[in-house]
Structure 1
Amino acid sequence: MQRDEIKRLVIVSDAWHPQVNGVVRTLTKVREQMEARGFEVTIISPADYHSVPCPTYPEIRLALTLPSAVKARIEAIQPAYVHIATEGPLGMMARRTCIKNNWRFTTSFHTRFPEYLRKRLPVPLSWSYGWLRRFHNAAESCLVPTQSIHDELIVRGFETLKVWTRGVDRELFRPQPDVDLHLQRPVFICVGRVAIEKNLEAFLSLDLPGTKLIVGNGPDLENLKRKYPKAVFAGKHEGEALARFYAGADVFVFPSRTDTFGLVLLEAIASGLPVAAYPVPGSKDVINATGAGVLSEDLGEAALAALAMGRVDPEATLQGFSWEACADIFESILTRIGVSREVPGHTVKSRQTISAR
């Protein structure tokens, strides 16, 4: 194959390994899928540069480099497609490169950073969302995790949005009836980053029978251990060890009000667990699509109702949630860099808004 025949794709992300989160898992699976489809994929991430810890998020590294260095790197690759996955320093530099070169590019919206920021600093949501709107509206298409998030962002003035599903590793996350965690049953489990935006105290403060189990690490871990000594904090686990925690529990409780999707929901359902969650974007999209849980503003009531449901059947509930379907949507929105439309402050070319079907 000649070099000019290769479908060269650059994905720029401020979130990448060794981070463990939904963005990294999604992009890793997308890269695997796209390479299997004949794309030559280059990930530009903080791993390529000197970096510093993000304030309040030390696991996240912020790249220290110049826009000219990122521009030179992308241009040297001679990509056919550029996808900007995050709105961090590298994402901003890549966006600047595309606009300066008059290239088309695509983006994705993964995280409610305005809400996360407001929990730490008194920054109005309108300011943060205004900046994100300008960032993403320059793209040919912006992928969003669920229909609820799509609808919210449309109201906030975002354009060219398309819903982007997610998948789950069904070989790893699976029912395992023989797993015994040696904890008092029933076991109510929550998996994820132990941080303020995950709203874990809403779960830990519930009056529930059995055991409340947290699997994960993060800045709030020691504080929550002191405050809730009866809960079990297992720390961070991956792979088969994580799969066994899911399989040995009885109910997955998801107290987050800010996650845009929650891949852990699919992992729990694939393991046979019913889910209890608030009726908020992300959670309600997954639970309404699968029927594998209970939504309620009373999280304790939802947890007990989910327990009464018993185990769920992944084969019956996870239809449509696959990494192949995720990659299909991603491939469908890729746009050759060509000559870009105008964006605010730059040159304009008309186009129709892409909305989720």
Structure 2
Amino acid sequence: MNHQVALSFEDGITRFVTCAPHETVADASYKARINIPLDCRDGACGTCKSFCESGDYDGGDYIEDALTDEEAERGYLLACQAMPRSDMIVQIAGTSEAAKTGAATHQATVTDVVLHSDSTIGFTLELDDRDALSFLPGQYVNVAVPGADCSRSYSFSNGPDDKQVSFLVRYTEGGAMSEYLKTRARAGDRVEFTGPMGGFFLREINRRALLLAGGTGLAPLLAMLEKLRETGLEHPVHLVYGVTADQDLVEVQRLQDYAEALPQFTFETCVAEESSEHPNKGYVTKFVGPEHLADGDVDVYLCGPPPMVEAVRSDLAGRGVTPAHFHYEKFNPAGAA
């Protein structure tokens, strides 16, 4: 059985290769013309040492000078020896440029543009070759703005197995993508994007998880939840989704659908403005309780504007809580991840 391996490079680029039965990660990479670090090919030098974020594999044969027992226990592997037993995510020690590869460019057609509110617009694309795109839930792409010489970065808001891809955009008056989507976008428009990119993506859920979203930072968390709906969920996952004003709350029904499909998933929404009519007024940190943090035995996924990210980090530090894993993505008003 073939397995897909996501190669995550230090510069944020992710490339995917397919490993045939009894094929090593290195062999599959070189077959795809991705030159990951490699030297001896015999498990003796350690040049191809990489870290497995998730997945199962046969570590193969190697000497301790190349990979110690302690490193292997922590999840390190030798790409020249490791043979996947499942799909994997592997951190490569090096940049995509050094591996003589880069992010792929994809051509697509606009199929839908939805004005969720005055502040949030969603759009959906149909790719010319959907099979050519693989991504990890939580990652983003750089989308070229039609009719403008610039691009914007947006996280997928759908699961990696969906036939089409979708995005959420915060409307910014005068913004290149904002104005295109609000005033000119039509079904049938041609769009180009490059990716996937980013180290913010869903890992295996091995303990309680806390998801925190600010505004359109909800998008990558929706992609994660879509993946979890497909795979199932054994550990509790709680999401707190905060916005500035009542009108900014979007996709709440979709969150409710996930809660009905996944008994272990719960969520709350909150609004920061004091004039809000929402029952939960305040920032996301106000609605994170000790039960969500489990004395640090929790994985935290956070996506929002920089002030929110820093506020959450400060809040956790103030509580004396260090999460088992803390993954976050900052974005600025122009939509760059």
TM-score normalised to the size of structure 2?
0.27
Question: Which of the two has greater helix per residue?
Answer: 1
Instruction: Flag the structure with higher strand content.
Output: 2
**TM-score, normalization: structure 1?**
0.26
